[in-house]
Amino acid sequence: MAAATVSETPAEDGNVASTSSNMGRDITAREVAARFLRLVETINKRLRIGETINKVRGFSRQNPLTATALLVLATLCYVPVVSFILFASITTSLTFFSFLFIEGFFLTMGTMVLGSCLFFILAFFVMMSFGVGIATIFFLGTKKGMEIWRATTHDWYEYLRTKISNKKAKDVSNKAE
């Protein structure tokens, strides 16, 4: 059971008041039930429910036809109100849950589509990197590949060297003029 640390001392009107003298004592289920029964008795005393029920019983014994008519009238007024409340609450809850299900469906589908697109894009780049790596290893591993690499780097070196020397010569001629 739930353990609370509230002590009880009855006050003069039967209500339970907490004091600091017995703090730390656990409340049992029997004490909770006793408190609830005292609360119900207090409500009965203050609202005089028993007297009202006795008056209604006396009236229904003296006027059974009127009491039956009032009961039927109360039931007929009660049925539409309960029907409307049930309809409104069921419609609201079904709307809420259907929105959740539809939203969940769309989120699931969107996640699946986005995930598959990202997976294929990632797989494409991974495959491309492996392909480039394998091509590089193959290219640099063969004798012809090494010759092409050396020739290409030498050609680039020569191209850049002539470009820089032409630029320097042009700058010198521009300064001389």
Q: Which of 169, 18, 83, 102 is nearest to 5 (CA)?
A: 18
DSSP secondary structure code for residue 28 in this structure: P
Cα–Cα distances in angstroms (integers) from residue 104 to residues 55, 107, 117, in the given order: 57, 5, 20
Residues with Cβ within 8 Å of 59's Cβ and at least 6 positions away in sequence, in order, are 66, 67
Separation of alpha carbons 91 and 98, rounded Å: 10
DSSP state of 8: -
pLDDT tens digit at each of 177 positions of the chain:
444 444 444 444 445 544 445 555 677 888 888 898 899 888 888 888 888 888 888 888 998 899 899 989 988 999 899 999 999 999 999 999 999 899 999 999 999 999 999 999 999 999 999 888 888 877 777 777 777 777 777 777 777 788 788 777 777 777 776
Q: What is the model's pTM?
A: 0.36
